[in-house]
Amino acid sequence: MVAPRAPGGKEGGRASALQRGLAILLTLGSEEALASDGLGVVRIAELVGREKSQVSRALQTLAEAGFTERDAATRCYRLGWRLFALGARAGDALLLHAAEPVLEDLAACTGETAHLSVLDDIEVLTLLSEVPTAAVQAREWRGRRAPAWCTSSGRALLFDHSLEELERRFAGRDLSGGGPNAARTLRQLHDRVVGDCARGVAVSDEEFEVGLVAVAAPVRNARGAIVAAVNVSAPKFRLSAGLEDAGRHVVAAAASLSAELGHRRTLEAAAR
């Protein structure tokens, strides 16, 4: 029988160092740290209940690995680029994993094909599509791209864009193409995005192509950033009368998926 290692042994020291490092990262992710754009060594030591010298050494090790970074002017530490890179990679996998059952339920509720899309420059890329079981035949959307300015999912992905941000994103780009009701200027696009935000849902009526309507809502991550959009699209003759009801289901689906990613405010709003 192997005797247990003493807490002060090498294994105990490694565990203690790991716990200290994790406590520091959690502290740098706190509301206080985010609101003040970082914390000093003394304040971090107070919050984690460790000696300043221990915290200082741990911060230097974490900074060398990219998990924290130090502001040269304020000497405050904040979370580093590597932590965000790992979080983004995990978030992408979580998004796709969590989206499948949400889209399945949405397709079943609406009787129409449901999609998950992301913004790629000025286009929308469809990552997943779920077809209702009763559908005889449906267009394959996975992997397809469409203009962001004339699709419901594109406008949902642009919810947080100001007019200035739209001008930077679409600088030098031609807003031609699309359906008869597509926006033709950035001012028109911005006005529609503002209206969409007020409603909480983006509606496209023959903006992408003649005879097609769609409704979309944004998906947000734990930091509140828009990372994807959920939408339902169908021929106008079939979905037009039920578009408002479909919109409610889309908003609920997007809120559920946002909650899976750690965002709570959207879910609370959808429940009201």
Tokens of 166: 């739209």
E strands present in the chain: 68-70, 77-79, 113-120, 123-130, 145-147, 202-205, 212-220, 226-235
DSSP class of residue 173?
A: -
Q: What is the pLDDT of residue 171?
A: 92
The pTM of the full predicted model, rounded to 2 decimals, is 0.67
Residue-level pLDDT, tens digit, the chain, 272 residues: 333 343 445 555 566 888 999 999 999 988 788 778 889 999 999 999 999 999 999 999 999 988 998 988 899 999 887 876 676 566 677 888 899 999 999 999 999 999 999 998 999 988 888 988 765 445 667 778 899 999 999 999 999 999 999 999 999 898 888 899 999 999 999 999 999 999 999 999 999 999 999 999 999 998 899 999 999 999 999 998 889 999 999 999 999 999 998 887 644 454 44
- The answer to whether the beta carbons of residues 119 and 157 sit under 8 Å apart is yes
Rounded distance, CA 146 to CA 178, Å? 9
Rounded distance, CA 130 to CA 59, Å? 46
- The answer to whether the beta carbons of residues 271 and 251 sit under 8 Å apart is no
Q: Is 117 helix (H, G, I), strand (E, B) or coil?
A: strand
Percent helix / strand / coil, the chain, rounded to 5: 50, 20, 35
> C-alpha angle with apex 178: 212 to 133, nearest 5 degrees?
30
Q: What are phi and psi of 206, to 5 degrees?
A: 55, 35
For the chain, domain boundaries: 10-79, 86-271
Count of alpha carbons within 13 Å of 213, Cβ hemisphere only?
Answer: 15
What is the CATH class of 10-79?
mainly alpha
Cα 100 to chain centroid, rounded: 16
What is the CATH class of 86-271?
alpha beta
Tens-place pLDDT, residues 50-106: 999 999 999 999 999 889 989 888 999 998 878 766 765 666 778 888 999 999 999
Q: What is the pLDDT of residue 176?
A: 86
